[in-house]
Amino acid sequence: MNKKVILPILGVTLLSGGMLGYQTLAQADASNNAKTHVSQAVQPERNLMQRAQDKLKELTGNTYTLIPGTAMKDVVSFKRENFKYDMISYTNGKPETIGININYEDLNGGKYQARLEEAWKTLFPGEDPHYVNITESIYRVGTISANAKQNKQVYMEENKQAYGVNYAPEAAPPSVEKTAAQAVSKLTHGKIKTGAKLDRVYIREGKPDVYQYKYNSQAVQVSFAIEDQTLELLQVDVHPMDGQGVDNYEDFQKREQAKEAMIKKLTVDTLMKNAMSDAQTMLNLDLKGYQGAIGTNTWDADYMNFTKEGAPSVTGRYEADGAFTSFTVDKYDQSIDYYGMTIVGAPNEEPKLLIE
């Protein structure tokens, strides 16, 4: 870069008889500009790296060597050296996500160690967590911890007293297993593969127990939740596999924009009519008397909330054609969500879905 800048200026110096051992004004400006550009490009990244190291020290009690992560527009990201699945990113200089896996025994104090120890002693006496996922982001703040067998997990969010607990016992009651078999047959229209295994993935403890199941095939992915005592389906998600992948981000954007345009044309009346039919078919749930409201934010534009006095609220998700593929009955004010279905593994592994 310096040769490209200096050589033309050197010619001007010779013509002016000025080989006197000093820079012309143009050279000085070019040099200063180059230094300024370097400073502007590098210094903020160094500052962000230091901030990231300080944050990791706060969370884990340890100091890590950081290296640059995946480059994206307006995003600066880092990873701990030798930890390929870290998520440490800043957008426009502001913290976006810090998400790391760490062995529990490798915590050296830090923000969550004492709370994790207390939680496991209370919930699972005699057991300690083995793997811990720590997340501090604009989306979620807290931990997911799992034991060595990975059949129990505890997740905590900052500033909340209650702990979420998932575990997978050896067996579900026969009545639940029978209901699960009936549900998967109905949700796949009887097209379940011969000899396919229906996986019971975890139990939600408490009010009463709630069992989550999943079934995957090349044609469809299905998950659902069954309440132990009433055998009601509290959550159903059916995701047809259309096999229409996209090759690049531009194609993905076009596809999403076309979907958004179709969704915006759907009316409350149309969606309400579809929801009443689909909820009855999928969950045997009667939405008569419920009021429906479409989500108003970017992230819930394809969701509809249903409320009825004296009844639990219901959330449904629909496709561009107005058909509903997902319902969740918020009967016990306990969500069955993505974070409730993840479990951490070894520090250099991605957090795993319990349903896989």
Q: What pLDDT is recorded for position 88?
A: 93
- Per-residue pLDDT at 20 exceeds 70: no
Could you list the beta-strand ranges (E) of the chain. Answer: 66-68, 75-80, 87-91, 94-103, 131-137, 141-146, 152-157, 164-167, 199-204, 210-216, 220-227, 233-240, 291-294, 303-307, 314-318, 324-329, 342-343, 352-353
Beta strand 342-343 pairing with 324-329: unpaired
Spatial distance between the Cα atoms of 133 and 204, rounded to a whole number of angstroms = 20
pLDDT tens by residue, 57-67: 999 999 999 99
Which has the higher per-residue pLDDT, 122 or 2? Answer: 122
Higher per-residue confidence, 188 vs 341:
188
Higher-confidence residue of 104 and 22: namely: 104
- Residue-averaged pLDDT of the chain: 77
Tell the residue number behind the tokens 């997911």, with chain if given.
144
Say which residue, 31 or 103, is predicted with more confidence.
Answer: 103
Between these two residues, 229 and 170, which has the higher pLDDT value? Answer: 229
pLDDT computed for residue 251 by the predictor: 73
> Is pLDDT of 192 > 90?
no
Break the chain down into helix, strand, coil percent, rounded to 5. Answer: 35, 30, 40
Q: Are 295 and 315 in contact (CB under 8 A)?
A: no
pLDDT digits (tens, 9 = 90+) for 168-183: 666 678 898 889 888 9
Q: Are 163 and 123 in contact (CB under 8 A)?
A: yes
**Pairing label, strands 94-103, 131-137:** antiparallel
Q: What CA–CA distance (Å, rounded) separates 11 from 203? A: 78
pLDDT tens-digit series, residues 240-289: 876 555 556 677 777 778 888 888 888 999 999 999 999 999 999 999 99
Output 170 or 316, whichever has higher pLDDT: 316
Highest mean pLDDT among 99-103, 143-147, 229-233, 318-322: 99-103
What pLDDT score does 202 carry?
A: 59
d(CA 49, CA 215): 42
N-terminal to C-terminal alpha carbon distance within the chain: 51
Which pLDDT score, from 0 to 100, does residue 344 have? 80
Q: What is the three-class DSSP state of 250?
A: helix
Alpha-carbon distance 230 to 239, whole Å? 26
How far is 77 from 45, CA to CA, in rounded Å? 9
Q: Quote the pTM value.
A: 0.56
Is 225 in contact with 235 (CB distance < 8 Å)? yes
The residues with which 164 forms a beta bridge, in sequence order, are 155
pLDDT at position 89: 92
pLDDT attached to residue 240: 80
The DSSP-derived string for 164-217 is EEEE--S---HHHHHHHHHHHHHHTTT-PPTT---EEEEEE-SSS-EEEEEEE-
pLDDT at site 82: 93
